[in-house]
Structure 1
Amino acid sequence: MKNLADSGVFIVGGGPGDPDLLTLKAYKVLLRANVVLYDHLINKKMLGLVPKDCKLIYVGKEPYGEYVSQEKIHDLILHYSRRVDVVVRLKGGDPFIFGRGFEEVCFAEQHGIQVHYIPGISSMQASGFSGIPLTHRGLSESVWAITGTKKDGSLSEDLRYAIKSAATVVIYMGMKKLAQIAQVYVEAHLGNLPAAMIQHASLPQQKLVTCDVKDLESAAVRGGMSHPAIIVIGAVVRARDIMTSFLMKAS
């Protein structure tokens, strides 16, 4: 009898882009995958880890563009789980952070499919490669992770609650909502809070644009920033400058 961990469907987080940031567990599963259903945002170099006879199937969802429906992805999971030992559902970032990974776990379990979750480093954690920590003593004691685009296409109302705290706010899928995000802060008289837009945070082509939150839209245009990208709002955006100033005074 096979060890259950040796077979089934594996919902795997591919991390923020750099293949070296894959977990060891994700790496080992890719080495023995029979089928990989992969997303738009994963680094294609990861696909070079799989066996030569592994079947690679693109099921990407391009931001604001064409996509493979979740129902179709479920159908593929069901189809291949009955025919091969190891099906890898490879997603960018972490599957359980705005990745719909838990929907796929529930679907698999409902159909009696052995399913395993392998976490990945989320794109918001990669803000550190841009010199922006998510928390820092004296600046931010917590983090809000918010979706910029809900299922109905609207901006999450949670943003209005988040800005009432001193927490760092990280917005996923918000690049087409920059004007609305800025307006929420302006209406709360917080338009001068520092903000950053980060793209390809863990890769050599990283792009970073910083500004006051009220200027998000114009700064994105000037900086040539597009989607996908994360938006980080709060004092931590200027943490490096604050620390440098503090150290200079201390010396």
Structure 2
Amino acid sequence: MNLTLPMAPGARVLITRPGQRVAETVHSLSDQGAQVTVVRLEETDELTLAVLDDLTGRRLATVVEDALSAEFDVVLRDPLTSLVSSPRAHGTHDRGRVTLVGGGPGSVDLLTVGGLRAIRDADVLVCDRLAPLSVLAEAGPDVEVIHVGKIPRGAFTPQESINALLVEHALAGRHVVRLKGGDSYVFGRGGEEWNACVANGIPVDVIPGVTSAVAVPALAGIPLTHRGMTQGFVVVSGHVGPQDERNEADWSALGRSGLTIVVLMGVAALAEIAETLIEHGMDPSTPAACIADGAMPSQRSARATLGDIADVAAARDLTPPAITVIGSVVSALED
């Protein structure tokens, strides 16, 4: 559904009666530069409330319990609230298949042409919360859209359930497009989805995406490599801290590597990560940056030394999704 509206950037838009697909509406409006406010009603269901909380946390929308329509430039009832996706009786293809599409870090501008083609061809779209959801306006009118977001410490769709969805719809003869944020194979669990499909005899295609590990630092003015500063970079998950028994990374080696360190999913463990790197020889004055909601209208960041970055990021309320870059390249570019 196309939500292009005749409005200037910065227009204030009020959405009433939000539904479970309200994130698509908000993304479409945010991409046009709108400042979005959503009215939360008493009868709003729990799943929609979880989506609204996530949009608020990511600074993509303001959620209120009441609002005066006269204060807004555009007022619309969420057009996706009553839109019920129904599975096609059969797919438009001779054989069901799955395409894993990396959607990039969030902005529709960073989706690949191949990814767009797959979305337009899909019978079923299985979407992550960090995917460029406004691109769903390009999908066919009969496409079934299934949101399987994993909100940190919130609504969560188990990976096993996602795998089962892909298999179920592909076995029914449909072209299933799994639209993910970033790249499917960079902390995207795309490999697990590939294996689940292949185990059931389902053909799988992969369309790589622009990984946030590289794109978000670039959008924040940080090159991951710079002549005379570093000869490489390493991308590591910070989902669990260095002292956690589930940690598999050698943080002591990372601290001595001389490479730019890019930490994904590391907001909660950032203080522990910084402390560990310093303990293993990294200079506490090493430049560092934390960037939240990269590539989105709500992108915001903080820069500090390695020793201070956790406190500075917390003071500026930088929340997931966020990426931390550690290394001299953080200050490589002139303002």
TM-score by length of 1: 0.89
Residues in 2 aligned to 1:153 and 1:15: alpha-carbon distance in whole angstroms: 31
1:215 corresponds to:
308
1:82 aligns with 2:171: yes
Residues in 1 aligned to 2:191 and 2:288: alpha-carbon distance in whole angstroms: 30
1:112 corresponds to:
201
After TM superposition, list the pairs within 5 Å mapping 1:39-78 onto structure 2. 39-78=128-167
1:193 aligns with 2:286: yes
Could you tell me how far 1:82 is from its partner in structure 2?
1.4
2:222 corresponds to:
132
Q: Assess if the C-alpha contact under 8 Å between 1:13 and 1:119 holds in 2.
A: yes
Choose the corresponding residue for 2:257, options 156, 160, 165.
Answer: 165
After TM superposition, list the pairs within 5 Å mapping 1:135-150 onto structure 2. 135-150=225-240
Which stretch has the larger CA shift, 85-94 or 156-165?
156-165
Which stretch has the larger CA shift, 188-197 or 127-136?
188-197
After TM superposition, list the pairs within 5 Å mapping 1:16-55 onto structure 2. 16-55=105-144
Letter in 2 for 1:232: V
Q: Which has the larger radius of gyration?
A: 2
Greater fraction of residues in helix? 1
| Runs of at least 5 residues in structure 1 that lack an aligned partner in the other structure | 245-251
Deviations 1:19-64 (A, max 9, x none): 0111111000101110011011112202111111100001111123
Residues in 1 aligned to 2:252 and 2:268: alpha-carbon distance in whole angstroms: 18
Residues in 1 aligned to 2:295 and 2:194: alpha-carbon distance in whole angstroms: 27
Letter in 2 for 1:186: I
1:247 corresponds to:
none
- SS, match of residue 166 in structure 1: coil
Could you tell me how far 1:168 is from its partner in structure 2?
0.6
Deviations 1:164-194 (A, max 9, x none): 1111100111000011111112213421111
| Runs of at least 5 residues in structure 2 that lack an aligned partner in the other structure | 1-92
Percent identity, aligned pairs only, is 37
Q: Assess if the C-alpha contact under 8 Å between 2:264 and 2:324 holds in 1.
A: yes
Could you tell me how far 1:154 is from its partner in structure 2?
4.5
- SS, match of residue 240 in structure 1: coil
Residues in 1 aligned to 2:246 and 2:302: alpha-carbon distance in whole angstroms: 24
Q: Assess if the C-alpha contact under 8 Å between 1:146 and 1:159 holds in 2.
A: no
- SS, match of residue 134 in structure 2: helix
1:96 corresponds to:
185
Greater length-normalized contact order (CA 8 Å, ≥ 6 residues apart): 1
Equivalent pairs, count: 239
Choose the corresponding residue for 1:11, options 72, 80, 100.
Answer: 100
- SS, match of residue 230 in structure 1: strand
Classify 1:123/1:214 alpha carbon distance in 2 versus 1 (closer, same or farther; 3 Å).
same
Residues in 2 aligned to 1:203 and 1:66: alpha-carbon distance in whole angstroms: 21
Residues in 2 aligned to 1:158 and 1:50: alpha-carbon distance in whole angstroms: 43
Which stretch has the larger CA shift, 198-207 or 47-56?
198-207
- SS, match of residue 176 in structure 2: strand
Q: Assess if the C-alpha contact under 8 Å between 2:104 and 2:181 holds in 1.
A: yes
